[in-house]
Structure formats: structure tokens, C-alpha cells
Amino acid sequence: MSFRPLPFVRGGSGWGRSTSPSPCLPAGGQAYKGGKRVIMMRLTIDDRELEVADGTTVLAAADRLGLRIPRFCHHPRLSSPGNCRMCVVEVEGAEELVISCREPVRDGMKVRTDTPEVRQARADVLEFMLLNHPLDCPVCDQSGECALQELYFEHSQRPSRLMDPKVRKRKAARIGPHVMLDAERCVQCTRCVRFCDEVVGRHEIGLCERSDRTEISVSAGIEFSNAYSLCAVDICPVGALTSIDFRFKKRVWYLSSSPTICTGCSRGCNVWLDRSEGVPYRMRSRENEAVNKSWMCDYGRMTYKRALSVNRLQTPLILSDHEMKEVAWKDALLRLTELVSAGARDCVCVLSARSSIEENLAFMRLCRELLGARRFYYTGSDPDPSFADSILRTADKNPNFAGVSMIADGPMGELPQKCGVAILDGLAAGELMELVSASPAWTLLVTAEKQQSGSWADVVLPKATHFEQQGTFISAGNILQRADAALDPPAGVPPAWAVAGRIANAMGLDWEMMDAAACRAWGKANIQALAKMEGSL
Amino acid sequence: MFTFTPDRKKRVAEILSAYPEKRATLLPLLWLVKEQEGVVTPEAIAHVAEIAGVAEAEAHEVKSFYAMFKGAGTDAEELPSNSLVFGRAVAPSYCRAACPRPLITRHFDVPRMAELAVARQHGAYVSLAKLSRLRPEDLIALVMDSGLRGRGGAGFPTGRKWHHLKRRPGKQVYLVVNADESEPGTFKDRAIIERDPHLLLEGIAIAAAAITADKVFVYFSGDDEIPMSIFAQALREAREGGLIKFDCTICRNAGAYICGEESALLNSIEGRRGEARAKPPFPTEAGLFGYPTAVQNVETLAVLPFILREGAVAFRGIGTADSPGTRLISLSGHVERPGVYEVEMGMPIAEFITECAGGIAGGGRLKALFPGGVSVPVLTAPEALASRIDFESIEDAGSHLGTGGMIAIDDSTCMVSVLMDIARFFAQESCGECTPCREGCGWIHKIARRIERGEGSREDINVMIDAADGMSGRTICALADGLAAAVLSIATKFRKEFEEHVRSGRCPSAPSPL
């Protein structure tokens, strides 16, 4: 692995929270923005005055006042086709209502967003949209987070006046590995089309036919299979595009959302983890202008499954008769203590680019003070150039390469013969061979994953995933991000610093480092690179 | 695997060189496929997509928009004929001047007028001699002074449109000729092209000079094969004869009425689905391929030679103050002599119908009249007979002169079935882009059909009117306003007939079951 840590800078959000820069500058006619003169326009919306930069749309201006003009087809990250007609407003001097998403503000403009005619127009649009819309709410995953539902209740509540059969289209069609299409539910807003064309840069989905038989569709045997296809599910305002993975699993009103970050690669996309009764069901992208804008990739989105009990280690294991056996914590800790006290010439600590700075620091301290380690390597997933793209994905599939390489001595290197080896998370295949050929005196593995690679560690102790603890990562572009716990860990499966505590106690020693902040404090005090960091860790 | 025949491969190369962007070759290539195979297959689409540099899926989406690319069989669509007259086909071969000073139809009866030699004998291209002495600004001022208003439907002042064209240094400007005449009841542009194509070419040359167009695109209706080939031949002759110098590409629609709308037309030329574009920006600012573009109707251009030759004052001497000049009226319906008539603006409709067209056929009486296609409010007989053929008079009567496609309806006609036919047309032709039109047209058609069959309720009539109201002024383009105008005018002015259908449970003019 050849990544070199660069001096990191705190990203726009630092803490993984978004700060969208506001071009709404103080009154004054003209202002300067990044060296270029910006012309300011003063306008009135619903009798409220504001100043915005020339080129701002009426919709964006109204959003800044917190007047949430209803809309379907507009998305701040995509072009504005103006096809839903929902965002109409009254502009003084204009004969007809105008769509605010494409209307540039003019100096002295007077806009009204809540007149009887505007209200009528919105209710009309909703009536047209619902005309051929199937009564699928009871079986539609979008229920509870559906723009059509929400805007209907807020702006219409008209009963249906259709006395004729509805137009029928394709339903429950798998159009890609992750996405299910119900063309009847589609309101032809074209957000998915524009997302695929403009953000992903490929054309995989579009409108076929015309008039009320217009249908969103994939064609020519080409699937909706780009690496970001589930973002279209995120932005689809209705249940036309839904996630196959999430299909029928949980009603969204039972879900609680917690902010965290994705650890699928070094990008560190900001996400929402949605859970119910302690079980994670899905991840959605979370807005962060500096890191991932509004997007994340499908692979990353599925990494929530790492927290599912079926995919993780829940109980300690020890190597016995060439087999890994499940044992109670006290037995595993006893075995470890035995092995360590038998003495080894040396101890090597292998830190992990897949875990947070805090867990790495806790493990480092454990190895140094309790296990006698003097060498501190780091390892992680091998880079995968085929995974990288020009959008978000990086070849480095580790979430914290930059972080761990700051505190370790160097990448995994030579292992002295017959030493003790303590590993956080795991080893790559080549490294495993290196380990075996070094005939270690003992091997300790602390990990969250179920072990696939056979029996090689003397003692394996389970730890929590990054979802279940506060953790700091240094993401691509040297952006420091911190996420709080988004889930509770299963009983008996704590973060690495608590595992270290249990080991210490089993050895009859004290251990006060029992939360993320304490790990950071230790790191600041004991690791030169962290002590020299600008700002606080 | 699809391949073009060797001679068609040559035409592929010609097509590629005719457009500044590869993508725009998509529709002409699909036509070439249809010519070769009779039908457009998925393999052909894949092949054509690659030539045009378009994603295969996108080529499918574009192809599926156009009715004439559908295969024979279940998904073939009956193209609504643009001489739709509620059961009576009209031969557009009857064309005459009905005014003392015809500007356009002067030589319509001259045999072989489409041949260059014959046209020149009758003064074709004479006005172009003046172009060398006039700057573009002078031409624009001339046309502004003439008061010429567009004859494609909107009636926008032509000179003002050219004046607004935002030419940017070093960037192209395009002239697009809208020869996609598909408003029901309208067939006058076709008459111009078939009977005096050199007049049109002369007008195009004048417009191209006025706006300093780098290139001209002429966009034909998909089923207008004959006018297209006549025009192509005349174009060839005129170029070879050195009479015109502008670079011209002929484009062909493939069965989408909406592509007669200027912004949808531009999308269609660009090789896209024929969806209308949200405005602003207007084509004069950002049009074809994003460049400033003037889209002009055939008749509008055909008037320019007279204006250039005789001057603005002479033009203003004909017609009325707000509507100078003449109009080609496509008269169809229940009249003795349907056809294309050139009338002086201001001619009373009553006089036109009785004197020129021989009155209502078969001894019937006029009941209703569409003054300019079916996208305008219908006039009752008293309203129509009190109006004159010009923009302002028909505005005063509550309608629009539009395309001048005048449809005379006699008292044997059921107005509910008229509305049903019109609604069916719009329901098929809506591009589907924006919500009110996409859903509203289909809805209105379903209701109208049910009322016509006698299965409607009084509530249905009100709902239909409400739906039309909900579409008016709320859409990206005026197609929805067209249907709304028909619905609102017919359902209010002839409401009794709708209520009679509801009350009796059948169409009163259908034969009684007893």
C-alpha cells in the first residue's frame, strides 16, 4: 500500500455535518464573492424583503426565508426542467402564475406564494398527478416518506373525481440489481433521468412513449445498474423507484435515523442509518457539501449489513485442536493471559485502517502497556483501482488510512520469529502467510467480522462496529470526520477500548480509558503526530 | 446485426455532414432505417445510436416518442390527419385567390410553377436583387414597418422577433422554417410548397439575410412526403441555378403534432423527444443547438418577397391597420367549396363563406365555426358571422385567427362528438412532459367519450370544464391551452347538447333505437 499521509485539513464540516454556504449576503447593492463582483437583487416574497445574488431563482430565495414552496421535479443538485408545475407562484405584473424553480429574481420583484389562485393551481396539479396514480399506499414502501402523500394532505385533500379506468403501466419490475420500478406510481418528474445523466454521466433510464402513456423505463436490455442507482431511490419523490434490499422490510414510521458515516471506502460519505428496535434496515445519503454532496454509492449503502448479527462475531473464540471454538469471555481472557505470560521475545501490534482513530489508539495502548509491543504496523483492505471512479468511490477501500498511518510506525512489515502478534480487524491474505511463516508465539485478533479465513488466531475477541461507537476518521482529501454512535452494540460486544479494559482487568490491572474522548486525550498526550495537529483532535 | 445498404451508407455520410451536432442525425437515420426495412428494429436502433453518438437506451426513448416509427401491427397508431373534418376528407388541391391583390397565390394556377424556369418567367427571385443594397438592420426595419405578423398561429410580429435575436460575436444564428403543418383543418402551407415552392425559397433567402443566418433548417410534417420532395427538388434547382446561396437542410418529423410547437420542433431537429422547452430562454436567445434561432412559418416567409419588392407601405395598404396584408385561409367543413383561399385581412367571414365558398353545403345552416384550427375557442354562428378575418376582430369575438384553419360546422353536427374528436387528438398528441397536459388531455377525452356515448353525468360536464380550467395557463407550452379552449368554448356555448346527452342517455343525433 502506497498511500502517504498528508497534513490534513479540517473539511467544510469537520464533524461530518453539512454547512451549505449561503450566497445571501448583507444588503448593499453590490458585493464581492470570491473576487468576482456579484450583483444583488432586492425582492419581496409574501411581504418579506430579502436580498439575493443575481441568478438566484425565486424558489431558492423563498427557501432561504423558510417558505417551503412545494415541488416535485426540482432538486438543488440537478437541472430544473420545470415539468411538475407544482412550484407556481404569483409574480406582480405577470399574466399567469410562474414556476419559481426557473424564475430568476429581478430587482424590485414582488412575489406571493400563498394566494387563492396559487392554492388552486397546487391542488389542480395534485389532482392531475393522482388521477392515474395507483392506490398503492398500503403496499408501497414510500408510504410515510412520500412527497405525493405529504403535499396532498398539505395542499389538496380533494377527493378523486375520476370515473374512468386509470392508465395501466409496468409494475414491480426489477430494472437493476438494486432498484425496483413501479411505472404507474411515477409522476414523470425525471429526477432519476437527470441524476443518471448529470451526476453519474451515463444514460440508463428515461421516458418512453408520450402523452399519458409516458413511462419511465429502461431499454435495449440495459439495466439501471450504475454504482449509484440507489441514489435515484433516495430522490424519487414517490414509490416509483424503490430499493429491492429494503422492499417490504419495515414501515418507515418505525424507523429512527441517526447520522453516521460510511466506511466502505476512504470517501467517508455522510449517511443516515435507519434502524428499528436496534436492527439497522438501510442507509441513506446525508447532505455534506464538502464530502459527498447528496450522494453515496450502492456498495457503501449495503455496508449497513456489517452490523447485522448474522454477519458479525458475537462471542470470543479460541484455537483448540486446530479448530476455533466459541467460548465465554472469561475463558478467552484466561487463555490470552496464559499465552502472554508464557513470554515472547517480542510483540508486534498491527493497527487497522478500517477502524477509527480512537479504536486504533486504544489498541495501541493495550499493546504497548499490557502486551509489551514495540513495533506498531498498520494494515487494511488492499486497494482496488477498479472500484474507484470520478464521482465518489476511491481505490482505497479503508475508511481511515490517513488516520492510522499517522499513529503507526509504518505499513505491515517483517515479523520477527516467535513473537506475539496483536491484530486489530484482520490481515490480508499475503500478510496471513507472512504471519504463519513467522511462527508467532501467540496471536490475538480483535475484530467485528465473522472470521472467514480459517483457524489461525489463538484468541479472537469480538468488538463493536463503527456504527456502534463514536469514532473519528480521516477521509479522502484529508477531511476529519467524526460520527456518534448510531446503534447500540449487541450485549457483550463493546468498542475496542472496552475490550482492552476487559483484557487489563483479566490481567489484574487497571484501565481508565473507557470512552472515545479518553482515547483521543491519550493520543494527544502520547503520539507526536497527534500532539502536533492543528486544532483539537 | 443491422447494416445499411451501400448506397444508404453514402447517405449516412451526407446526413452526418448536414448537422453541426451528431446527435441530430438520429431522426433522419431512423427514417433511413424505415425506408430500408419498412420497420425500425432494436438492432437498427443500436446501430443508429452508435452513429449518432447517443446512448442506446436514449435512442429507444426518442424512437418511442414518434408515432411513425412504430411498427405495423398492434402498436401502430392511426395518424390523425390534419385535414380532419369530422368525417369528411378535404382535398387541399382547391386553392384560389379571393382578394383583389393576392400576394401569395398569384401563380398557384400556373402549371409546373415548381420548376425553376417557369417560376423565373413569373418573377421568382427578382426581389433578391435588392438584398445586396440592404443591410440586415434595414431588412429588419422594413419588416417591422410592414407590421407583418406571424402566420403560424401565434401572430407574433415578425420584425420584432428578428429584432430580439441576440446575435453573439462569432456564434451561429439559425433560421428554422416550420413546415410542420399539423393543426387540424390547416393545409395552406402545404399548398404554398406544392404550388409555388420558389416563392417560399425566395422568402427564406430574405429572412436568412435579415438575421444573418448561418444555416437554414426546414422541418416538415412526417406524412408530408410529397411537399417535401417538391421542395427538395426546387431547392436543388435554385441552388444549382445560383439563385440562392444559403445552406439548407431538410428535416422530417415522424408523427408528433407537438413538434409543430417551435421549442419542441427544435428538440426534434436536435434528435430528442419532441418535448416543449420551458421559456425563457426563448429561441431568439437560445434556440437550435443553443444558438439564437428564428422559427418562422411557411406563409410568413412567403409574404416577404412582396414586402421586399413593393415595400412596407404597399403591404400596409392591404388589409387592416393591426392586420396588414392577406391571409391564406384553409377552409374546410360543411361548405360547398372547401379549399385554400387567399383573402384580404378584414374580409367579413359571412361574405367569405357565402360569396367565396358557396355557402353551407347541402342546404344546411352554419352552427359553429373554428376560425383558426381546433386549438382556439369555437365561435357560434352569430359570433362568426359578425366577425372579420383578421387578428383583432376575432380576438374581440373571444377567439384567435391562429393558423387560419377555418372549419365550418353545420347544424347536423353533434358538438359533443366534435369535442370528443378534438379531445382524442390532443390526448394522443400531448408530449407528456408536464403534469396538467399529460394527465388532463387523457382525462378530458375519457369524459367526453363517455358523455358522447350517453354514459355521462351532469357532474362529468362540470369536471371536464374544471379540468380544462386547471390546464389553462399552467403548462410549458400552449397545447394544453388549445384543448382547454376547445373544451371551455364548446361545453359552455353548446352546453345544452351535453345536457341532452346526459338526460337522454344517448347522442340525440344518433338514429333512435326504436
SS3 A504: helix
For residue B510, is pLDDT > 80? no
Write out A157-179 in H/E/C secondary structure. CCCCCCCCCCCCCCCCEECCCCE
Across A80-86, average pLDDT: 97
Q: Which residues of B touch A96 (CB under 8 A)?
A: 473-474
User: Residues B22, B25, B26, B30: what is their CA dihedral angle, to the nearest 10 degrees?
Assistant: -150
Integer Cα distance of B305 and B198 in angstroms: 10
Is A164 near chain B, with CB under 8 Å?
yes
Does residue A413 surpass a pLDDT of 90?
A: no
DSSP state of A431: H
Q: What is the pLDDT of residue A179?
A: 98
Q: Quick one: pLDDT band at residue A453, thresholds 50, 70, 90?
A: low
Work out the average pLDDT over B73-97: 48
Instruction: Give, in order, the Cα–Cα distances in Å from B247 to each of B19, B178, B236, B238, B413.
Output: 11, 16, 11, 12, 48
- Checking if the pLDDT of A2 tops 60, the result is no
Which cell goes with A58?
Answer: 425565486
Asked if the model's pLDDT at residue B91 lies above 70, the reply is no
For residue A202, which amino acid is it? R
List A110's β-bridge partners, or say none: A44
Q: What is the mean pLDDT of residues A188-206?
A: 98
Contact B435 A88 (CB under 8 A): no
To which residue does cell 483484557 refer?
Answer: A503
Cis omega (within 30 of 0) for bond into B6: no
What residues of B are in contact with residue A187 (Cβ under 8 Å)?
Answer: 435
Interface check B65 vs A, CB under 8 A: yes
Contact A124 B42 (CB under 8 A): no
Return the pLDDT at A535. 67
| Of residues A83, A88, A102, nearest to B433 (C-beta) | A83
Is A219 in contact with B440 (Cβ distance < 8 A)?
Answer: no
Helix (H) or strand (E) holding B405: strand B405-410
The mean pLDDT of B181-203, rounded to a whole number, is 96
Are B430 and A210 within 8 A, CB to CB? Answer: yes
Which chain B residues have a beta carbon less than 8 Å from that of A70? none
| Most A CBs within 10 Å, among B48, B435, B444, B465, to test the A interface | B435
Classify B378 as helix, strand or coil: coil
Instruction: Tell whether A156 lies on the interface with B, counting CB pairs under 8 A.
Output: no
* Closest Cα in chain A, distance from residue B430 (Å): 5
Question: Which among B66, B5, B73 is positioned nearest to B36, based on CA atoms?
Answer: B5
C-beta atoms surrounding B493 within 10 Å: 17
* Residue B433 near chain A (CB below 8 Å): yes
Distances (CA, A) of A215 to A169, A173, A212, A401: 7, 13, 8, 45
Q: Give the whole-number percent of chain B exceeding pLDDT 70.
A: 95
- The mean pLDDT of B420-433, rounded to a whole number, is 96
Residue in this structure with the C-alpha cell 443547438, named with its chain if needed: B289
- Nearest CB partner across the interface for A84, out of B274, B435, B463: B435
Strands B326-333 and B339-344, by their bridges, are antiparallel
Lowest mean pLDDT among A216-230, A312-326, B86-100, B292-306: B86-100
User: Which residues in B lie closer than 8 A to residue A206 (C-beta atoms)?
Assistant: 57-58, 61
Q: What is the pTM of this model?
A: 0.93
pLDDT single digits (tens) A68-81: 999 999 999 999 99
* Residue A236 pLDDT > 90: yes
**pLDDT value for A18:** 28
Q: What is the mean pLDDT of residues A461-467?
A: 97
Q: Is the pLDDT of residue A428 over 60?
A: yes
How many angstroms separate the CA of residue B365 from the nearest CA in chain A? Answer: 36
pLDDT confidence tier of residue B81, bands split at 50, 70 and 90: very low
Give the residue from B144, B64, B455, B447 showing the smallest Cα distance to B307. B144
Nearest to A189 by CA among A83, A41, A270, A269: A83
Collect all residues of chain A within an 8 Å Cβ-Cβ radius of residue B433: 81, 83, 188, 214
Q: What is the pLDDT of residue B447?
A: 98
Establish if A487 touches chain B: CB-CB under 8 angstroms: no
Q: Which of residues 463-492 of B touch A (CB under 8 A)?
A: 463, 466, 469-470, 473-476
pLDDT at B379: 98
A392 near B CB under 8 A: no
Q: What is the pLDDT of residue B513?
A: 61
Mean pLDDT over each residue of chain A, to the nearest integer: 91
pLDDT at site B85: 38
How would residue B97 be classed by pLDDT, with cut points 50, 70 and 90?
confident
Is B432 in Cβ contact with A219 (below 8 Å)? no
Give me the residue from A88, A99, A207 closest to B61, CB to CB: A207
Q: How far apart are CA A261 and CA A484, in angstroms?
A: 9
Looking at residue B168, what is its pLDDT?
86
Q: A537 pairs with which residues across the strands?
A: none
**pLDDT grade, residue B506 (50/70/90)?**
confident
User: What residues of chain A lie within 8 A of the CB of B441, using their CB?
Assistant: 211-212
Across the range B442-450, mean pLDDT stands at 97
- What percent of chain A has pLDDT above 70? 92
Rounded to an integer, the average pLDDT of A246-272 is: 98
For position A532, what pLDDT does the model report?
83
Cell numbers given for B117 = 424556369
| Contact (CB<8Å) B440/A128 | yes
CA distance B43 to A133: 34
10 Å Cβ neighbour count for A192? Answer: 25
Question: Exposed e or buried b for every residue in B249-260, given b needs 16+ CB within 10 A?
Answer: bbbbbbbbbbbb
Determine, for residues A218 and B57 on separate chains, whether the beta-carbon distance falls below 8 Å.
Answer: yes
Interface test with B, best of A90, A203, A211 (most B CBs within 10 A): A211
Distance in Å, alpha carbon of B45 to nearest chain A alpha carbon: 9
Mean pLDDT, chain B, whole residue set: 93
How far is residue B77 from each of residues A217, B33, B61, B225, measured CA to CA in Å?
A: 21, 19, 17, 18
Contact B60 A219 (CB under 8 A): yes
Indicate whether B170 pLDDT > 90: no
SS3 call for A215: strand
Is A96 in contact with B60 (Cβ distance < 8 A)?
Answer: no
Q: How far apart are the first and last CA of chain B?
A: 61
Put simply, the answer to whether B436 touches A125 (Cβ < 8 Å) is: yes
Nearest-CA neighbor of B234 among B202, B189, B191? B202
Residues of B in contact with A208 (CB under 8 A): 60-61, 64-65
Chain A residues inside the 8 Å CB shell of B55 = 202-204
Question: pLDDT-based confidence at A429, cuts 50/70/90?
Answer: confident
Angle at B37 between CA B36 and CA B43, to 5 degrees: 110
Q: At what angle do helices B458-471 and B479-493 cross, to 10 degrees?
A: 150
Q: Is the pLDDT of residue B93 over 60?
A: no
CB of A202 closer than 8 Å to CB of A226: yes
Determine whether the interchain pair B434/A86 forms a contact, defined as Cβ–Cβ distance below 8 Å. no
Nearest Cβ partner for B474 among A124, A129, A217: A124
ipTM: 0.94
- Please indicate if any CB of chain A lies within 8 Å of the CB of B285: no
Residue B79 amino acid letter = L
Inter-chain CB proximity A164 and B446 less than 8 Å? yes
Best mutation target among B64, B277, B460 (most A Cβ atoms within 10 Å) is: B64
Dihedral, CA of residue A464, residue A530, residue A9 and residue A291, to nearest 10? 0
**Which residues are paired to B97 by β-bridges?**
B342
Is the pLDDT confidence value at B186 over 60?
Answer: yes
Nearest to A203 among B58, B446, B466 (CB): B58
Q: Output the CA–CA distances (angstroms, integers) from residue A110 to A41, A89, A94, A122, B474, in the order listed.
A: 12, 10, 10, 20, 20
B481/B494 Cα distance (integer angstroms): 19
Give the model's confidence band at B459: pLDDT under 50 very low, under 70 low, under 90 confident, else very high: very high
Please name the member of A121, A210, A222 whose beta carbon is closest to the beta carbon of B56: A222
Indicate the pairing of strand B215-220 with strand B174-179.
Answer: parallel
DSSP letters along B239-268, please? HHTTS----EEEEE--S-GGGGSHHHHHHH
pLDDT in tens, A278-306: 999 999 999 999 999 999 999 999 999 99
Least confident among A268-277, B43-52, B100-109: B100-109
CB contact under 8 A, B438 and A124: no
Q: What are phi and psi of A471, to 5 degrees?
A: -150, 150
Chain A residue numbers touching B427 (CB-CB < 8 A): 211-212
Residue A344 is predicted with a pLDDT of: 76
